[in-house]
Amino acid sequence: MIYFLKIISVQFFTISLVNFIYAIPLTLRRLVLILIDAIGITFCLYFSGFLVGYSHQDVIYNKFNVLITALIGILIFLFTGQYKGVTRYVGSNALYRLLLRNLIFVSCMNLIYYFLKTEFLIFKFTFNFILLLTLLNSFIRFFLRDFLFFLSFNNKENIAIYGAQEESIQLASAIEFSSTYQLLCFVDNNKLLKNRYLNSIPVLSESDFNKKFSNKSLKKILIPNSLLEKSEKLALVNRFNRSGFKVIRVPTLKNMISGDNLLSSLKSISINDLLGRESVKPQENLLGPGIKNLSVLITGAGGTIGSELSRIILKLEPKNIILLDQSEHNLYEIDKSLRKKHSTIDIKTILGSCLDRNLLRELFKKYDIDVVYHAAAYKHVPLVEKNPISGIFNNVFSTKIICETALEFNIKQFILISTDKAVRPTNIMGASKRLAELIVQSYSDNNKGINQFPIFSSVRFGNVLGSSGSVIPLFEEQIKSGGPITLTHKEVTRYFMTISEAAELVIQSSVLAEGGDVFILDMGAPVRIIDLAEQMIYLSGLTVKDEQNLDGQIEILITGLRNGEKLHEELLIGESSDSTVHPLIFKANEKFIKYSILEPKLNELRKQLEDKNIEKVKTILKEIVPEWTS
């Protein structure tokens, strides 16, 4: 108890002293520095004379001359801005400015003494005086800076910086005089740097760091944004989180200089920072040609992908954009969002269904549609599994109707947004999306040699971060409610990509389309969902409750695979794919069904769907998509 009171007393005293110093008026603080410099000049004058053997009769020991010399020195310091600097932020470059001022001062002093004594001061005296005065001035300022720094030390939060590369050293320099953080060490596993120092800051390996700071005296580790690839960050954050340390991402120095981010607004690593691969900037020659000055229809425009496509397409200067969605709320939200940023481009919002053939014909005719991005679909696997009639009818026949309308009006291009669940599907949603792909391919094949347009294609990719119905919002909700997190299987994996990059790649794929293409987006490495769940718990500042840690806060419950759920999603049905000019876009080599064979089966499927004969519907679906396993 006494020890605790002593700590509080010391902290209270230092805080009070710091506040008292900072409360002193600026003019008074400058006067104190001027007085200190005047005493320093006098001391250096006498001591330099003593070192070269001047006697008391020499001109430099005349009290009037000493007073004049100190006054001239102070005036030179004032006019050259010596007292304009902030002492607590003084750096090494101040030493060079002090040296320059002292050279000017000594030059003036030499001229004065020359007129007083009719000869210049000897070189040895001049050299000693400049050296002593520069060292004394520097020592006083660095001492005051470090004294203020020491007083505020107890108020700072201890941190470490990961990595001892250039970015990390730049970060260390940026926070050197921070009033918020105190850097205790760098963490780097490079054996060449082990037990070495960077600007007096030790470099520790991860194991040494964990041992030294396991007593909770340091809880945060800063990682420069540009230092590691996402896959490396995921493993690194996992290790530190398990050891009880919080990882903070730091903007690049360029962003800090531009004011986009400041040290005062550092943000914790988010799950979006760790999933998927590193984003790649779009190729400008592929991003604009399929959009500029064209009339674009986006179905499912209020959904995750549809809304992001809308935002990006509007930046590419289309003639107009038509947003079609049957969700009133989603359509309202995307319309409101787009109109805030784009007032010149004509935006049409249409509340309706893609199954309404008459509505579609009216839209194609009225707005002279050039390009269609078909993103509308029922995509939530458990819901579609429970409502197969609605799921199949919507996903399959909305695609068929739009393809037919696109042919009727001879538009330029039709792009289907597909999913990795269409590859060897184990659920009805995936099977319906695979059938949608086959429809697009059959219409393309049937149109070849007859018309140049439309160009039909599909783009297949996995989960996008933050999409409705995805696992991340579900886990966030479960963590907020105190758990548990429900997970279907320990080994389940999924692909992840940011929404913006997925939408950009879809648009770029459309420029590469030749007809009947099934494009596959490079999603990076698949992520184990149990690792994702653990990371989200740690990033929320909580711990996992399991057999090794019974005192944890959030438990992960394994519930078993749901109907139609796969352990591992795939992107490729066939054995190979072809590369394209874009490094992240590939073209699948897959078989398709001729239109003449597919058309009668689709007619029969529709009849059974209307009759709600689910058994016959599944039988027909299995015939068309034989790789589907229920």
Cβ atoms within 10 Å, residue 217:
9
Q: Is the peptide bond before 583 cis (omega within 30 degrees of 0)?
A: no
Q: Which of 372, 455, 370, 469 is nearest to 419 (CA)?
A: 469
Could you give the C-alpha distances from 82 to 69, 127, 129, 194, 517, in angstroms and in order? 17, 21, 18, 41, 71
Q: Which of 286, 276, 367 is nearest to 324 (CA)?
A: 367
Q: Give yes or no for a contact between 459 and 372, defined as CB atoms under 8 angstroms apart.
A: no
3-state secondary structure 604-629: HHHHHHHCCCHHHHHHHHHHHCCCCC
Residue 287 tokens, joined: 């991003």
> Among positive and negative, which fits the CA dihedral 500, 505, 508, 510?
negative
Give the separation between CA 143 and CA 201, rounded to whole angstroms.
19
In angstroms, the first-to-last Cα distance of the chain is: 67
Give the separation between CA 315 and CA 342, rounded to whole angstroms.
8
Query: Torsions phi, psi of 375, nearest 5?
Result: -105, -5
Burial 123-158 (b: 16+ CB within 10 A, else e): eebbebbbebbbebbbebbbebbeebbebbeeeeeb
Q: Give yes or no for a contact between 136 and 130, defined as CB atoms under 8 angstroms apart.
A: no
Q: Which of 233, 379, 400, 421 is catalytic?
A: 421
Give the separation between CA 62 and CA 45, rounded to whole angstroms.
11
Residue 389 tokens, joined: 């009639």
Q: Which of 442, 461, 452, 362 is nearest to 403 (CA)?
A: 442
Give ∠ CA 402-404-405 in degrees, rounded to 5. Answer: 65
> Is the backbone of residue 483 left (phi > 0), alpha (psi -120 to 50) or beta?
left
Give the separation between CA 127 and CA 99, rounded to whole angstroms.
12
Strand-pair category, 197-198 with 201-204? antiparallel
Q: Give yes or no for a contact between 286 and 203, defined as CB atoms under 8 angstroms apart.
A: no
3-state helix, strand, coil in the chain (%, to 5): 50, 15, 35
Q: What does the DSSP 8-state code read for residue 354?
A: T
Q: Which of 168, 156, 155, 186 is nearest to 16 (CA)?
A: 155
212 is catalytic: no
Which residues touch 483 (CB under 8 Å, ≥6 apart)?
545, 553, 554, 555
Q: What does the DSSP 8-state code read for residue 568?
A: B
Which residues touch 221 (CB under 8 Å, ≥6 apart)?
159, 160, 161, 162, 187, 240, 245, 246, 247, 248
Q: What is the DSSP string of 590-602?
A: -----HHHHHHHH
Which residues touch 625 (CB under 8 Å, ≥6 apart)?
425, 431, 434, 435, 438
Active site residues: 421
